[in-house]
Structure 1
Amino acid sequence: MKRYDLITPEGTRDLLFEECAAVRAVEERLQKVFRAKGYSEVITPGLEFYDVFNMKSRYFPQETMYKLVDNKARLMVVRPDSTMPIARMTATRLREQTLPLRLCYSQSVYRNKPSMRGRSDEIRQTGIELIGSASGRAELEVLSNALEVLSSFETEGFRLEIGHIGFFKALLSKLGCDSDTAENIRGLIEVKNYPALNDLLESIGDNEVTRALKQLPRLFGGEEVFAEAAAIYSDPETDAVLADLRSTYEKAVSLGYNGMITIDLGLVNRMDYYTGTVIKGYIEGCGDAVLSGGRYDKLLSEFGYDVPATGFAVNVDAVARAELKRVNFKPVPADVLVFGTDGYEAAAVAHSRKLISEGLTAETAVFDNIDEVRSYAAKKGIRRIDIVSEKITSENL
């Protein structure tokens, strides 16, 4: 029988030294931004009951979740998403809190995607949820935070894409197709697979709606997208969506990030989850989106608490990998290596504490003779050795 005790499961990996430093630096930077805006941190369990994610809209297909049973044979999952557990927690433990709620988190999610080789099944996320406001001001706050976050990363450039799921949903409702066909259309638009999308829509028929859906993946760019979208399809519902999106876009541009913000009406990911504005953020050096989110006004109602919400999550691992290419996160050697001669081991520990209280980093040597201590210090790049005996002497290397 083959043993797997020396490798990690597919889709996971160990993080070492500078990778850990990069991940922590990104998390701390994001949390600092969020705390300054009044967001309070929450942590949800790594294990949740399957029912939390098996809602009417089925936001997460069961085959993408890691499943197990507890000692009562109840089906559980390893957390595949942070927003739905936070929705559960809000609908129960935070139900009496004054709205709006501003919540933030840093935790891992786990998604089983065997078909996507090279992708991580374990993803470290940091994000925010603004719960209890349907106002455009809430939209603007989330966009402002997303732009501030993207601009804080140690990369050469970034881009925030803004869309609105309502435009696609309005077209789809007029097409009258079954749910499987609708999901196929959505998936092809999301990945911008023009040939396959054209073939599928032609099999449905040639009409104003199918022609508009064919053009949807191409509707991305600047302010000109609004006129282009109105030209391919216009009725009171889609006109209202475009007006809402234009207002959001203009307010976002007014924040001072003109040139970094684009419109993309082909943002149709998780259409049963999002209900309004959707966003994706990209940075230099990373091909996939590192930030995603949007408005999800119906999610909490599935937990019995009908309040609107919006938010986003950042893929911390992806940002950290991109920043490692540009920023030096290599571990810094200790300032001092402290060695206690025989009988003075405890005194060496006390001396290390004193150095640390003075703002230095100090290692306590665990070797039995000074030659080994000097050899270790030279290999590690530690420039000073403090030798503790009846008195304390220092050697500079």
Structure 2
Amino acid sequence: MADAKMKKVSFNRFRAKVFNMVSTGVIDEPLNRFYDVLSIVALILNLFAAFAITFDYMEEHYKGLLLVIEGVTTFFFAIDYLLRVFTAKELYPKLSESRSIFKYVLSFTGIIDLLSFLPYYLPVFFPAGSAVFRMFRVARILRLFRINSYYDQLNVITEVLASKKQQLLASVFIILILMMASSLCMYSVEHDAQPNVFQNAFSGVWWSVSTLLTVGYGDIYPVTVAGKILGILISFLGVGMVAIPTGIISAGFVEQYQKLKTVGDYAEEENIHFIRIKLTDKDSWTKKKIIDLQLPKDIMIVAVQRDKDTIIPRGQTVLESGDVVVMCAEKTKEIQPIDLKEITINDGHSWNGVAIKDLDISRQSYIFMIRRKGKAIIPRGNLTIKAGDVILLYEKHSIRDFA
């Protein structure tokens, strides 16, 4: 029984190490950094080979080399996919083994990873569909989005789209309505003059798309006076409709960057520290008004996150269980600086299964709290650290180091 448990622990640690290796942006060990570089190089070489082989000169002189590059890099994508399936449990730790694999395989990232290599091998079994399978290889380009893990500013794009999702959906809905209405109107005035072009209500959809989106291909156009007047009006509407989602996204970018700049400048120039506290039913602040909390004068509650909503606190705001309270306080320069750290222990961490007294940490480092399954535990020497624990550690430095 003990041997089986030890094997399971060793297996979980091995899987956690593999998960850290394949997770883009986790560069705490040389192997993880090497794997990230290898992944990026393989993707760049694969895309280069796919583009280069379309040129006659490159195909004539370097076709063999380009095919080898594509084959090797695609095989690497297949191995990468299998490793991610193997470590899906680490990605979704709250799910069972089978459900975590199922969730990853059906996720957007999992589908992209699958399409990165599967179409390359499918023509071996289905030769007739090689042309269609080749088209799906374009999905490899989407793997470039993993670079977001290195550049936080790229995440602003997804944050803007998520925050403006309702407005964008509303503008797209309006465009679809105008598209169908303009198609129906143009059919009504142009069907008799061009029965072969505007055959039914949906035959004008192509014309309405090219007009409303200001593309203007010119292959389908009105010939009657009423149709031309209607086309002019719809063209003006198209300019305004296309400008709506563009303006929404532009305003979102401005708001996001202004927010980041304001928070960054405020925290740096005014020496402000922000902390978050999640309330539970047992906390004394729950069901109390902010004005009744009797906070110190240097501490202020700046936001309350409740579910997916962010509440700007007022004195009469009542705090509820589950609220995430964001507080700020001015940094005090007179006291000795202390660095606080939060370490999450996974199955592969070297501290997993080790008693606190046996940890090799600096004499200037102290563990002052351990959170286990939502509960705070006072650290004692004989306490054994387990996977899932959150270690709160602080390091005391000499004032001379900050002079």
The TM-score by the shorter chain falls in which range?
A: under 0.3
- TM-score, normalised via structure 1 length: 0.22
Structure with the bigger percentage of strand: 1
Structure with the bigger percentage of helix: 2
Bigger relative contact order, structure 1 or 2 (CA pairs below 8 A, ≥6 apart) = 1
Q: Which has more radius of gyration?
A: 2
- TM-score, normalised via structure 2 length: 0.22
